[in-house]
Amino acid sequence: MERYFAKLLLFGEYTIIRGAQALAMPLRQYSGSWQFAADEDPIRYSLEEFVQYLMRLKERGELLTDMDLRRFEREVNRGLYFESDIPVGYGAGSSGALCAAVYRRFAIQPFERGDEAHYVRLKQQLAQLEGYFHGASSGVDPLICYLDHAVLLLPNGQARLVTPSEKRAADRGAFFLLDTGISRKTGPLVEKFLLQCEHPGFAEAVKKELAPATENAIGHYLAGRREALMPEVGRISAFQYRHFQEMIPSPFVNVWKEGLHSDVFYLKLCGAGGGGFLLGYCQDEASARSSINIGQFIPLPKI
């Protein structure tokens, strides 16, 4: 069975809302795939209501994707379900992976993964599917899960596939995740950010400090300049510590601050914040791991 991986927003949380780039990619530590339940096995999450939601959209002529919904219904009645270990409420694409899998299996003429010319339309189709779970969706999460590739998200809504320079054994610099163990909702956090942006001083700081550091970090990462990446991640971390306190889970404020003071590692939000994962970057993984005594430390050796 084909697997659909979780999604990692490496750089660009919040700044993409303000017209900057973002970089996202598959997070291969977590995934989901289609399974059929045995007759006696209970299904943890039934897709029957999702099928009915899509059928209602189709009846009203509002469904953006031509889909074989009768087949979807038949297979769900036979026990089809999406088996996934992607954490829910982490901003890691738990619903995005499901929607990508639904699109791939049941869309009658799905866009091909390499068809960049149609990514805007594809994102709209996937956003409508994910709207069932969130009420509103940008379509970014299911797009990343569907494309299964690193994607540069552009301010005009476009997206393009990118291939980061391969990490060499001699390269210093390593990413890691810190699992906070806290589930959260994205919507209220984004609303807080947008309210903050109504204050000219904050909006100007985002434009002149956070956005340039983010775009520099993306450029250094894609070019394989690992050592140049460290100070840019430090700038992002320091900005978020000063201005995004509400998005940093309170049990992790001290370790965030410790990273800024020691320069052994830096933490940044991974998505909207408020819980889920924090993303870390360090020059020496062993030193970072020994300095962090809270949360679950998850190395990302392939990123």
Domain ranges (residues) in the chain: 4-161, 174-300
pLDDT of residue 43: 64
Angle at 166 between CA 161 and CA 171, to 5 degrees: 140
Low-confidence residues of the chain: pLDDT under 50: none
User: What would the CATH number be for the domain defined by 4-161?
Assistant: 3.30.230.10
pLDDT of residue 156: 83
Residue 151 to residue 217: CA distance in whole angstroms = 15
Residue 268 to residue 280: CA distance in whole angstroms = 6
CB atoms inside a 10 Å sphere around CB 74: 12
pLDDT of residue 42: 65
Pick the CATH number of 174-300 from 3.90.600.10, 3.30.70.890, 3.50.40.10, 3.50.50.60: 3.30.70.890
Is the CB of residue 124 less than 8 Å from the CB of residue 60?
Answer: no
pTM of the model: 0.94
